[in-house]
Amino acid sequence: MEVQQALNEYEKYFGVNYFFYVGHEKTDQEIIQEIENCIKTGKEQKEPEYDQDKLY
């Protein structure tokens, strides 16, 4: 599966876009795996935990 296909599947399943959070870099494969896991478990992506001491 390619990233765009995974993004489309996420939007189709949850009715919202997968969100790319600032400062959290993921490879294409990591994004695909996260989306597949979200769909498999029926849970939307988690909100990121930001480091209060880091400037984003």
3-state SS, 25-52, equals CCCHHHHHHHHHHHHHHCCCCCCCCCCC
Annotated domain spans of the chain: 3-41
- Amino acid at the residue 25: E
Predicted TM-score of the model (pTM): 0.78
Per-residue pLDDT at 2: 94
CA-to-CA distance for 8 and 2, rounded, in angstroms?
A: 10
Identify which has the larger pLDDT, 4 or 50.
4
Per-residue pLDDT at 23: 63
Q: What is the pLDDT of residues 12-54, one digit of tens each?
A: 999 999 988 766 788 999 999 999 999 999 999 988 777 788 7
- Please report which confidence band the pLDDT of residue 5 belongs to, taking 50, 70 and 90 as the band edges: very high
